[in-house]
Structure 1
């Protein structure tokens, strides 16, 4: 038997015509954003977690059994496949465990109205999350955690020399890499959609009745723990112990709070998808500015470490003090009704 979502009725003046008008206005308002549940569907949450977390370990199992770790030829393809376990979990719960009145609105897929607001937050996510990884590098350099070479890009020159690319110009390679960032970000949206439809599309709204901050914190912790199958192989932090997972949890709570704000504020999952893609794209290219003498670079000098943690914490504080976390649909209401 599926969980059911309580629908909040909007009282109107007496009279059949007035009632029909109120219902029509409510239907029109409902297109402005997803209706959040009035209570956490705990059974659906548990099923979601079992599928998403268990699925991640199941997908990466061949890598663990190979004994090759990150060097396994299966690591890349299976890690890409792992990114779709949250979406599989979300689809299972919305269609077979907890069917929402409108699945597209719950997941933030549709409608994209008001279009201006949606596109504004998509642009904000794309630009902001492209800039943050590079800003974290500058902060890391200022903190003495990493050494950059912005003029000579010696790290790229050394990589070209090691690969036999004698005729290639390091500055040209860097320029092309930067120009390609928007295109690569759009390509990466396919993979980040696999995560975001689960984390911010379904799980965050499901936990929203706990309160905004509790939902953001809980979903961020879960997102961080989900990375354990790859983090424990030495991915991201170069550690194969629980400390690496704890570091990833901190990172995911901070990043997830900002991405979650985009999701709640826009009432759409698409800004979260593109923000996540931009972060992955720019974050994977940070080595182009690292000095050759500082390679391999310490992740603690990048967005994964203190510089990134500090920047995201500052952004969260700014959003909080300006009241941005309050501008979102309330449980049982649409965004338009929440503002009324």
Structure 2
């Protein structure tokens, strides 16, 4: 990934108008209906995830019109293979590790009601699910169930890959490289702020921060997106590809349930303060980001030369 020096004003304006406008348009039925309780919430939330990708594709195909469109979005080339595979492995591990690390930090700071020994909250969740399904069989040991859930996170990361790619094509595929002309830190901060504000149609309905007023929920979402988006951006920059960022996003979404699995039964988790969504959960990723900044971790990977006839999506 190399910094882009082409004119930015028009492509950026079109991208932001489409990404934000389409997200509000898709979410409008929720505002006119029952909000988070609407039966269409989850299908529409997934549809909203596609809007940054649609915006990026529109800009690349109709505004910028580069020679190698797939390359412009980080979709291609898939080489060097060793670098790509290594970054995909990091994409599976790092988001899960950050989500889990947030919990003992929150517990130590007194903002996360942890039960790491008896897992009473997880037991309560599993029992409620089994009761809803009408199952009466004896449950396996809770640690076995928890280990099984960890395995399903890896599967879920790949199942979430395409919906996550809908976002990552926009944020880390198109936007971040275009902003890198201003330097790594400004680009990562600005793309994270944009990503956070883009969540407004759902966050203002109470999503992710149900106990907070809308303005505070949106402010916290912006903070979380800056912190987590910087980690996703690191994967994009060091790999030269959007695929590790998309897989990391998928793994993040698949593993977010762990934020509540280790809570005490009957306790409410305040996501403004606790879990990776809250300020206490940003401490570990901020330490990681500081280390990466100090060690040059945000220097772009060398670009792979384009081979004739190799790249899909090239213009004739």
State the TM-score, normalized to the length of structure 2: 0.89
Q: Residue 43 of structure 1: which of 10, 13, 18 is its match?
A: 10
- The match for 2:59 among 82, 85, 93 is 93
Question: Partner residue of 1:137?
Answer: 103
Q: Once the 2 structures are TM-superposed, how far is the Cα of residue 232 of structure 1 from its aligned partner? A: 0.2
**Could you say if the C-alpha distance between residues 40 and 153 of structure 1 is closer, same or farther in structure 2, counting changes exceeding 3 Å?**
farther
- For the 8 Å contact 1:70–1:234, the answer to whether it is kept is yes
Q: Distance in 1 between matches of 2:235 and 2:206?
A: 30
Shift of 1:281: 1.1
8 Å CA contact 2:75–2:243 kept in 1: the answer is: yes
For 2:215, the equivalent position in structure 1 comes to 242
CA RMSD of aligned residues (A): 1.7
Query: How high is the TM-score relative to the length of structure 1?
Result: 0.83
Q: How many residues are treated as equivalent by the alignment?
A: 297
Matching of residue 266 in structure 1 with residue 239 in structure 2: yes
Equivalent position of 1:57 in the other structure: 24
Structure 2 residues without counterparts, runs of 5 or longer: 306-316
Instruction: Choose the corresponding residue for 2:139, options 161, 168, 184.
Output: 168
Indicate whether 1:301 and 2:274 are aligned.
yes
Residues 88-141 of structure 1 deviation map (CA, whole Å, 9 limit, x = unaligned): 001100000111231121111111121111111111121111111011111111
C-alpha displacement at 1:217, in angstroms? 1.1
Gaps spanning 5+ residues in structure 1: where?
A: 1-33
**Does the C-alpha gap of structure 1 residues 321 and 40 become closer, same or farther in structure 2, counting only changes over 3 Å?**
farther
* Shift of residue 156, structure 1, vs aligned partner: 2.3
| 1:203-242 correspondence to structure 2 within 5 Å | 203-238=175-210, 239-242=212-215
Cα distance, 1:171 vs. partner?
A: 3.5
Secondary structure of 1:290's counterpart equals: coil
Displacement of 1:35 after TM fit?
4.9
Runs of 4+ in 1 over 3 A off after TM superposition: 160-163, 169-172
Match of 1:324, SS state, is coil
Q: Tell me the SS of whatever aligns to 1:236.
A: coil
Structure 2 residue 249 is the aligned partner of structure 1 residue 276: yes
Q: Is the 8 A contact 1:122 1:270 kept in 2?
A: yes
- SS of structure 2 residue aligned to 1:222: helix
Tell whether the 8 Å contact from 1:328 to 1:335 is kept in structure 2 after alignment. no
2:289, 2:143 → 1: CA distance? Answer: 35
- Bigger CA drift: 137-146 or 284-293? 284-293
Structure 1 residues 320, 64: closer, same or farther in 2, change over 3 A?
same
> Partner of 1:193 in structure 2?
165
What is the match of residue 285 of structure 1? 258
Larger radius of gyration: 1
Residue number in structure 2 paired with 1:123: 89
SS at match of 1:233: coil
Alpha-carbon displacement from aligned partner over 1:124-163 (angstroms, at most 9, x marks no partner): 1211111110111111111111122223221122234445
